[in-house]
Each structure stands twice: as C-alpha cells, then as structure tokens.
C-alpha cells in the first residue's frame, strides 16, 4: 500500500515541467521586428519560417493563434541628410503588394492637403500629375503633403528601380520650375472638413458597414485632416488577408464616389493584432 501511495505522489505531486523542444531544451518565443523604424512587434510563438530547429517542434494545440505582422519595405534610397539638404532629394518605397511606389520628397509638395488623380484627364491643372501620367503604365497618382504615391497598371513587374528613376526625374523636373505642382483651380474644389466628415460617415453607415457586416467586419472613421481620411477596420476585417482588397476596391471607390474631393485614405488598423480573420 505504501508503494502505491508513493507512486501516486510521484505522478501528481511534481510541478509541471516547462515545455521542451524536440532536442530537449526549453522553448522560447522569438522576437520579430517590423522593417519600419517605429515599434517592434513580439510574436506569440516562433515564426515557422525563421525559427531555429529547437523552436520548430510540434505545435501545441492549446497555443493561441499566430498573430499577423505587417512588414513594410525599406526605402531604396537612404540619405542621412535628407531633411536638411537644399537639393531636391527623393526617396522611393515600393509597397509590399508591388502595385504602388511611394516617393517622399524632402520638402512639402501639397502642404496639409492631398489630391488623388485617377487618370491623365483628371490631372488637368496639375503639372506634376500630368508629368507622372506621361510615364508609360501609370494608373493613378496620389499627392499628399511631401509624398507622391504612384500606382502602376502592370502588377506583374517586380523591379521598381527603372520606373522609380524615371518618376523621380519627372518629379524633380516639375519641382525645379516656378509652376505650382497642383493648381489652385483643383484646390478650390476641396470642401470644409466637417462636410467631408459628414459625407464619409454617411457612406460608412449606409453602404460600407452593411457590406462588411456579413463577414463580421466594421469600419470606423477616425479623423478627417484637410481632405485626408483616416479609418480603422475592426472585427473580421482586422488582420484579414483580403483587407487590402476591401480597402482599395470597395472602401476607396465608395468614399470617392460620395465625396469626390477626398484625397488620401489611410487605414490606421493594427492588422498584426487580428487573430480571427474571415478569410485565411
């Protein structure tokens, strides 16, 4: 009897051992840093692609789902004296989806405002917009403060460098002249912030949210600055693999149809925190 009691004590009296990897060493969560210079993001478990053998043991079914991480491409050009230089300097940053390239200039182009051009014809009155549409393959142009984002029609081209060099030359050439990059006739079309806010909130309530509700999603208007709109995705839209498509093909179109003078539309969602997407 004493022997049986001792065995039971040995089985249930010990503290639970720390989880070990396939090699017998305690596992540790890896730290994954975003490629953008702001704040690091700590993953909840090792990345199966980059983890070492000791970290890639059989997954525990009781572990929390892996959180998505948003990683942005680094600039092609990096100049420590970028802001201070008297010369016109331009940074080029392709998007992760390979459909856009953002050009940042070391001086304001359209201070405090933004404007979106959907075609060469719509760029009438903007020497900068027309110069960029003159480059083969340009689909849209967005100018906001000190940045210019160009969307290319052919999404299959991986190498952005030749295009970036041509676009950078066109931007620099316009900025070196006495011409205003975006004419006053265009800027006069921009309504007051409160009117933009009311129009955007109305289309969110009547069109956008009813559309994403079936996926458990929700879109919130965070702010309107000038004619730039800041939104946030929640529910099933947060971390969803189709969030970028929803934003560009659905939300952008609905906003611009309701309020044509809307310029930049930015998604401020922390998609790395989304753990229950509708699509995977």
Residues forming beta bridges with residue 259, ordered by sequence position: none
pLDDT number for residue 52: 42
pLDDT number for residue 34: 40
3.40.30.10, 3.40.190.10, 1.20.120.1630, 3.30.300.130: which CATH number matches 193-273?
3.30.300.130
pLDDT number for residue 186: 95
pLDDT number for residue 121: 96
* pTM score, whole prediction: 0.65
Residues forming beta bridges with residue 221, ordered by sequence position: 231
CA dist., res. 261 & res. 266, Å (int)? 15
Record: fold of 90-187: Ribosomal Protein S8; Chain: A, domain 1 (3.30.1370)
Going by C-beta distance under 8 Å and a sequence separation of 6 or more, which residues neighbour residue 176?
88
pLDDT number for residue 245: 55
CA dist., res. 72 & res. 126, Å (int)? 30
pLDDT number for residue 91: 93
pLDDT digits (tens, 9 = 90+) for 199-231: 999 999 998 888 877 777 788 999 999 999 999
pLDDT number for residue 92: 94
pLDDT tens-digit profile, the chain (280 residues): 445 445 444 544 444 444 444 444 444 443 333 444 444 444 444 444 444 444 444 445 445 444 444 333 344 445 567 777 888 999 999 988 788 999 999 999 999 999 999 999 999 999 999 999 999 999 999 999 999 999 998 888 888 999 999 999 999 999 999 889 999 999 999 999 999 999 999 999 998 888 877 777 788 999 999 999 999 887 655 555 555 555 566 788 899 999 999 999 998 776 555 555 444 3
Which contacts of 126-131 are long-range, i.e. CB under 8 A and separated by 24 or more positions?
126/181, 126/182, 126/183, 126/186, 127/174, 127/177, 127/179, 127/180, 127/181, 127/183, 128/171, 128/174, 128/175, 128/181, 128/182, 129/182, 131/170, 131/171, 131/173, 131/174
- Give the CA diameter of the chain: 99
Q: What is the dihedral of CA 100, 250, 264, 204, to 10 degrees?
A: -160
Please determine whether the domains at 90-187 and 193-273 fall in the same fold group of CATH. Answer: no
CA dist., res. 135 & res. 154, Å (int)? 13
pLDDT number for residue 80: 61
Domain regions of the chain by residue span: 17-66, 90-187, 193-273
């Amino acid at each position: 009897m004493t022997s049986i009691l001792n065995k039971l004590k040995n089985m249930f009296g010990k503290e639970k051992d720390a989880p070990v990897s396939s090699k017998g060493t305690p596992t540790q969560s890896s730290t994954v840093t975003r490629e953008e210079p702001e704040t690091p993001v700590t993953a909840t478990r090792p990345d199966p692609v980059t983890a070492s053998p000791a970290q890639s043991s059989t997954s525990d079914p009781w572990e929390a789902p892996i959180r998505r991480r948003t990683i942005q491409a680094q600039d092609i050009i990096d100049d420590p004296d970028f802001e201070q230089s008297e010369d016109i300097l331009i940074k080029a940053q392709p998007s992760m989806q390979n459909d856009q390239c953002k050009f940042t200039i070391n001086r304001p182009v359209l201070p405090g405002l933004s404007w979106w051009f959907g075609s060469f014809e719509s760029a009438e009155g903007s020497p900068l917009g027309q110069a960029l549409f003159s480059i083969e393959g340009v689909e849209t142009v967005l100018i906001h403060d000190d940045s210019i984002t160009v969307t290319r029609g052919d999404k299959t081209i991986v190498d952005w460098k030749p295009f970036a060099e041509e676009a950078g030359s066109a931007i620099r050439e316009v900025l070196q002249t006495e011409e205003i990059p975006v004419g006053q006739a265009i800027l006069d079309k921009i309504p007051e912030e409160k009117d933009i806010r009311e129009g955007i909130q109305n289309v969110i309530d009547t069109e956008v949210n009813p559309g994403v509700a079936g996926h458990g999603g929700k879109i919130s208007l965070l702010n309107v600055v000038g004619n730039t709109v800041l939104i946030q995705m929640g529910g099933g839209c947060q971390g969803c693999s189709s969030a970028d498509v929803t934003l560009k093909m659905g939300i952008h179109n609905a906003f611009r149809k309701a309020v044509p003078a809307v310029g930049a539309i930015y998604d401020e969602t922390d998609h790395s925190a989304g753990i229950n997407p509708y699509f995977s």
